[in-house]
Amino acid sequence: MSNWDIGNTVREGDTVQVWVFSGTSVLDPEEPNGKIEIIGRLLSPVPAAEVGTIRCIRLDYVSHAKEANVKVPDVPPLSMKPATALVDPWPARTVIPKHTLKDGSADYGAELAIVIGKTCKNVSESEALSYVLGYTVANDVSSRVAQFAQSQACYSKGFDGACPLGPVLVSAAVMPDPSIFTIRGLKNGEVVQSSGLSDMVFSCAKLVSFVSQGTTLSAGTVIITGTSAEVGFGKVPPDYLHDGDEFVVELWPHIGSLYSVFETEK
């Protein structure tokens, strides 16, 4: 069922039954063990121990580059988040750091996430997607004041919990052409971002190939592929995240809704 929204169904408290596989990781699921269980809580499709360093592509939508008033890039701009930035879907909470709360600049970014399934290095664009296990959803949470104060974005995007990921992983075999995905971001129920992935500057194949040049991408590596226009800093006045806000990233077909609820650091 391509339009069954697991994230929303669990968020509403409805029962979701699933086949249980004998493996302990999506990287090595093995086979169904014959059991059917009810989902108690959604976790990130890939745990922090398997993610390693999260690669973040910036300015990969034509609309977002125009919004930021910068030239559409010739090569993919890259920053990184540590594995500690990973956080599960709701009911896990995404914490806004104290200093970011103080300057009021915590921002959202609805993004497609690529999960690498086989270790690779120096792959060509033509073979890149054969190394992709599947696709899921990410929210690229950023501290804009910190970001604009520096030339690099790793610090401003690397805080604990700054990468909600989920709710499900769809196999690359099911989605051989990720450019047909559509993505939306909703803040407290209001649509604030909406785009087709056809607006991406660089294709998923190009991104995987680029990131792998001279660099080993281990199985489990996550690449988040940039966000479309209408992020918080692009609005007049800016519309940032605050304590109690709920942000939802929707990706269709197949994947559905990633719910994140924000709270301030104690």
Nearest to 57 by CA among 164, 211, 247: 211
Question: Which of 69, 118, 76, 67 shows the shortest CA–CA distance to 203?
Answer: 76
| Positions in the chain whose pLDDT score sits under 70 | 1-2
Q: Which residues, 6 or more positions from 195, have their beta carbon under 8 angstroms from its beta carbon?
A: 61, 63, 182, 183, 184, 228, 229
According to the model, what pLDDT value does residue 198 have? 87
pLDDT tens readout for residues 97-123: 988 877 889 999 999 999 999 999 999
Q: Residue 256 to residues 84, 108, 163, 210: CA-CA distances in angstroms?
A: 24, 18, 17, 28
Give the Cα separation of 232 and 222 in Å (integer).
24
pLDDT score at 2: 54
For domain 42-264, the question of CATH label 3.20.190.10 is answered with no
* DSSP assignments along 177-224, one per residue: -GGG-EEEEEETTEEEEEEEGGGBSS-HHHHHHHHHTTS-B-TT-EEE
pLDDT, residue 10, reads 95
Q: What does the pLDDT read at residue 1? A: 42
pTM: 0.95
